[in-house]
Each structure stands twice: as C-alpha cells, then as structure tokens.
C-alpha cells in the first residue's frame, strides 16, 4: 500500500484548531459567568425585596393585633396605680399585641417593644423588636420605671429602657433614620395631626406611622427593588382606655 509522504496535518493547522477551541471555550466560560452573575443579582434582589415585604408585614400585623391593657405599677412605697399600657415615643414603642413573630396569630399575647438603635459600625440605625409573653397587668407594670407629674398632661408614665439582647429581632437595618409618629384627633380643623409622642391616658391615637428610609442613596439601589419607606397603620381598638382605674387597683 502506497502512502503519500505529504499526507497529514501541519503544525500550523494544529495551532489554528487549538486556538479556535480556546476561543470557543473562553466564549462559553464568559457566557456562563455572565449568566451566574445575573442569577446572583436576581436572587439578591428577590431576597432584599422579600425581607422588606416581610418586615412591613410583621409591623402591620403587630400593630393590627394591638390590644388595650392595663399596667399596674407598684412603687416601692405607697399604693399601686393602674395606667393604660402603651409607650409611645419618637424612637420607641411598646404595647400588647395578639401577633408574634414566632407564632403569628396562633400564640398567646405578646408585649412588643420596638426600639431604634445605632447600627453596626455606625452605619445608620436599625429597628429591633423584643417580644415578651404577656401574663397580666402586673407584669406590664414591671416595665414602668417611674411616674412624673406634668402641669399640662398630668401624670407621665416613664418606662424602662428597651435593651437589645440575644432574642432581639432586627426588623430593618442600615436605615438613614427611623422614627414613630402618632395621629391625634382634634375637635377643630384640621381635626387631626401627627405628633412625635403620646402621653394621654384617656384615649389612644387613631393610627401609628413609622417613618424610615434606607441609608443607601436611591441611585445605588436597583430600579425595581423595594425600598423601606413609611408605614402607616390604624389602631383598630374597640375599647376605650378612658376608665376609672381605681376600680382595677386594690389598696396596698
């Protein structure tokens, strides 16, 4: 059998084939990398959106589950006194609710204590909530630190500080600001106004507003991402706190 001495492939042809295969492999790797990067960004956006949606749902449910209750305060000396259990300050809010993060609407009532604290590395602020199973007015009264006299408002109830702990749940982090406001009904126009605190023992606010904004600039956020914005929720309470508290307190 005769063989052609010039048959076969040359070195140049091999180099061309290897180069084409390398280019094809590089193109495939680049396409896969772009695909994985896009998938990661989409997942991160979905997680961020889900976190914002869950935070708003938790806040709305806790406020929707607002339950009026008494707090019986027992000072070191003197008789016990009963007050409406509702702390309403610009950076903290404490109340009884039928909703909890762990058990949703199926568990027993909880004392929800919301507090605005500095975030890690001083990067804005964060909103946390502490939940304590509710056992009665006496337990709620243990969270009252002192009573103060005010010429205009009468007796002011001062609550103990809300401290972060291992069981504190971070509702929102890296916020530029976070503050609470309370809707007060008025007898004259404009018939209602937002105020930064609530001291009245004879009535409750019509609604609660939580004002917050992300620390990151809007241009740095995805155009389709959900931003942590203001939340307004009514207090759907059908029992007025304007009661004779002496009926609930026994002399010491």
pLDDT for residue 51:
61
CA distance 130 to 122: 21
CA distance 199 to 222: 41
* Residue 120: both structure tokens together: 């890690």
CA distance 151 to 149: 7
pLDDT for residue 241:
47
Q: How far is CA 205 from the centre of its chain?
A: 20
C-alpha pair distances (Å), 152 with each of 79, 156, 215: 24, 10, 38
pLDDT for residue 250:
41
pLDDT for residue 207:
93
pLDDT for residue 49:
53
Exposure of 182 by Cβ count < 10 A (0-12 exposed, 13-18 middle, 19+ buried)? buried
pLDDT for residue 128:
93
pLDDT for residue 15:
84
pLDDT along the chain (252 residues), means of 10: 62 83 86 79 58 80 92 87 93 94 89 94 89 93 89 82 91 91 91 91 90 71 58 76 42 38
CA distance 174 to 122: 9
Q: How far is CA 158 from the centre of its chain?
A: 23
pLDDT for residue 221:
47
């Amino acid at each position: 059998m005769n063989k052609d001495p010039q048959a076969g492939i040359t070195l140049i042809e091999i180099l061309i084939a290897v180069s084409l295969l390398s280019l094809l492999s590089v193109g495939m790797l680049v396409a896969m990398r772009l695909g994985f990067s896009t998938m990661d960004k989409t997942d991160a956006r979905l997680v961020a959106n889900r976190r914002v949606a869950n935070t708003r749902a938790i806040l709305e449910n806790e406020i929707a589950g607002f339950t009026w209750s008494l707090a019986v305060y027992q000072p070191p000396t003197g008789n016990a006194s009963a007050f409406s259990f509702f702390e309403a300050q610009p950076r903290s809010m404490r109340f009884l609710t039928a909703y909890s993060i762990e058990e949703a609407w199926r568990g027993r009532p909880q004392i929800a204590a919301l507090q605005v604290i500095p975030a890690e590395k001083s990067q804005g602020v964060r909103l946390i909530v502490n939940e304590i199973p509710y056992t009665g007015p006496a337990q709620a009264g243990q969270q009252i630190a002192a009573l103060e006299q005010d010429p205009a408002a009468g007796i002011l109830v001062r609550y103990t500080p809300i401290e972060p702990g291992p069981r504190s749940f971070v509702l929102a982090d890296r916020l530029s600001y976070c503050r609470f406001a309370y809707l007060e009904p008025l007898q004259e126009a404009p018939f209602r106004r937002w105020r930064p605190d609530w001291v009245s023992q004879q009535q409750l606010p019509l609604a609660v507003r939580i004002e917050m904004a992300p620390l990151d600039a809007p241009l740095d956020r995805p155009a389709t991402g959900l931003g942590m914005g203001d939340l307004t929720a009514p207090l759907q309470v059908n029992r007025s706190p304007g009661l004779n508290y002496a009926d609930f307190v026994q002399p010491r």
